[in-house]
Structure 1
């Protein structure tokens, strides 16, 4: 019987690569996305059960949870990858910025973990929750304060849910930094970004996938954050 994984934010970048790889490995993948694109149809053709969910809107999250409960008897893994990255507003709409970041990175994962815990407990083996946080959760960020704070809260929830759901469910986090450049990033930015780590390179999607696979395969790691940052902490 295929293992079942729910991955949020599968429409682009790391979520897209990860979901594609797990589909190729025979996982039954449930994915969420925010915007309908040809990529989503490609994922559906590969066998993904895909749902359009705007994580800014809690009612859409609640409706999605209800559908998963109705259609599935178990989950083997839940990977919180959906994210957004807002700088501090120049227009004085600071409350809206922090509210949005907390909703996407904290409120939605918190509710999903609790509401779907019974499905994870129903897994045939040890189940997993993986929170995708960020390097700045520990360092902070002058330009993305709300973002960094929300990712720090998500990292802290890793500890609490690991305690709550043990021993049946392992709960861990991955804290990446500079995994993939955007197509719009110019060479000057790339040089500056690479210089922030002692390895002076981008991590790459395969590094992220291997980290996920390690946590899924482990039977003895929980309540931990796995950093993928090229050694930025000792730069």
Structure 2
């Protein structure tokens, strides 16, 4: 097992938190970034997970995070870009600002982290080093209410191809594209039924399927430049 930690951005809740906890269960040291303090972070810290606050909504915030990350560790086994902002489109004067924020969170932060932290991955000393981009099913389909979100996730998916070509063969770069994996705290049964009906598998699977997908990429030395869909067969509907 590598002594170099795995970085998960946006690892304080939901899919990121689940993957962080499962990685620790499997013996990996983990670092997570988080946007704001929340009670769940204390439970992660008690498990030995390092938490670093990060503001990916600005370039200065991204660069500050990278500097503090390098002060925390000299190597990384993998980087999982999970930080995300599910912001709906705006039709008022804030529309441009919303798009720019989503661009920075979904594209600029992974782009700069990948560039500036390549040396941390190369210092890992393990035969396999990985970058994993968490994109979204809507990157291929588009969205009527979240066009900026879908477009910037599609941009992240394209960055997967570029960095995979750039960093091969030393570092593998792949993406995972989930559809709805977990329900929100306020989602009722009517919403859950509607969500299940969108996929051929007719289920809301829970975060374990994302960890299985991440584990596949972290354990396979011959996969790079792919986007792994985890959507229950939505394209069959």
Give the TM-score normalised by structure 2. 0.96
The residue aligned with 1:33 is 34
Please name the residue that 1:130 is paired with: 132
2:152 paired residue number: 150
Moved more, 50-59 or 214-223: 50-59
Cα drift, residue 67 of structure 1: 1.8
Question: Structure 1 residue 92: deviation in Å?
Answer: 3.6
In the alignment, the residues of structure 1 paired with residue 141 and residue 39 of structure 2 have an alpha-carbon distance, to the nearest angstrom, of 37
Partner of 1:169: 171
Preserved contact between residue 2 and residue 26 of structure 1 (Cα < 8 Å) = no
TM-score scaled to structure 1, two decimals? 0.97
Q: Which residue of 2 is the match for residue 208 of structure 1?
A: 210
Instruction: Give the structure 2 partner of residue 112 of structure 1.
Output: 113
Matches of 1:43 and 1:18, distance apart in 2: 12
1:188-207 to 2 correspondences below 5 Å: 188-207=190-209
Is the contact between residue 203 and residue 229 of structure 1 (CA under 8 Å) also seen in structure 2? no
Aligned residue in 1 for 2:180: 178
Q: How many residues align?
A: 235
Contact 1:203 1:228 in 2 (8 A): no
Which deviates the most, 120-129 or 204-213? 120-129
Root-mean-square deviation (Å): 1.1
Which runs of structure 1 show a deviation greater than 6 angstroms over 4 or more consecutive aligned residues?
A: none
Structure 2: any 5+ residue segments left out of the alignment? none
Return the offset for 1:194.
1.0
Is the Cα contact below 8 Å between 1:23 and 1:29 reproduced in 2? yes
Do 2:62 and 2:109's aligned partners in 1 also have CA atoms closer than 8 Å?
A: yes
Structure 1 portions without partners, runs of 5+ = none
Aligned counterparts, 1:21-100, within 5 A: 21-100=22-101
Q: Secondary structure at the match of 1:51?
A: strand
- The question of whether the paired residues in 2 share the 8 Å contact of 1:74 and 1:122 is answered with yes
Q: Match of 1:9?
A: 10
Give the structure 1 partner of residue 19 of structure 2.
18
Q: Any idea what SS the aligned residue of 2:232 has? A: coil
